[in-house]
Amino acid sequence: MGNKPGGGPVPLEAPLALLPERVAHLNRRYRHHSATSVLERAVTDPQVGRITLVSSFGAESVVLLHLVSVIDRSLPVLFIDTQMLFPETLAYQAEVAAKLGLSNLQLIRANTDDLGLEDPDGTLHQRNTDACCDLRKTRPLERALSGYDAWITGRKRFQAGTRAALDFFEEDGAHRIKVNPLAHWAPQDIQDYMTNNRLPRHPLVAKGYPSIGCAPCTSPVKPGEDPRAGRWRNSAKEECGIHFVNGKMVRGPLSQGETA
């Protein structure tokens, strides 16, 4: 069953057997829809199933959070606290959740035993950023998503070259769908939406942080630099790992014969 604003089930359509078939069907069905329409349909369409929003409460997160709050404030929202976030992000998360009336916010953290074994002194990020992201983001999120058929992200095509072909719906492994309602939005669309809806801004944006992750791995961005230049600066790393499948970037439907 899919979700329905207000908590009730929606009638099932004839199920599509395979995940690639479902993703292709959804992208065809909603290709010309707006972000609001894609999001509204995603939380009710039985071809999507049980769904949650994953939010970093970063520089642009409030747009998607606001859209969700208008549709269904009780939709589960997963917030990954890596325990290395800026204090400003934690304060902003509390402010936004209260302002928007999000009633089902779930805090996700790494397993305490895993932290003790793999990063007892909190310096793993200095030696291996990929391992740190895996420990503090990827694995905790995967555990949290185990009860869902789909999850909503705020990814957009303009954010990185690796996202240039981003679709509204993607395969995420063999059994789950990733939904990107803002895939086609431009930077100005984001700013206009925030302004028109009088949404609070992350306090670090005004200090030169247009893209915000963990404090040790995020630095201010100079005028003219790519907005994500401050993420893992001086390295080839562009993604934290939660948007990879078996070590590969997921850009869209998997090609025939490629396994998840």
- Cβ–Cβ < 8 Å for 234, 247: no
Set 132, 214, 217, 240: catalytic member: 240
Instruction: Tell me how far apart the alpha carbons of residues 62 and 94 are, in angstroms, rounded to a whole number.
Output: 12
- Cβ–Cβ < 8 Å for 198, 226: no
- 133 labelled catalytic: no
Give how far Cα 54 sits from Cα of 57, 100, 142, 157, 259, Å: 9, 16, 11, 18, 24
- Cβ–Cβ < 8 Å for 178, 148: no
Q: Helix axis angle, 87-100 relative to 61-71, nearest 10°?
A: 20
Which phi-psi region, left, alpha or beta, contains residue 115 (left: φ > 0; alpha: ψ -120 to 50)? alpha
- Cβ–Cβ < 8 Å for 9, 110: no
Q: Which amino acids are annotated catalytic? A: 240
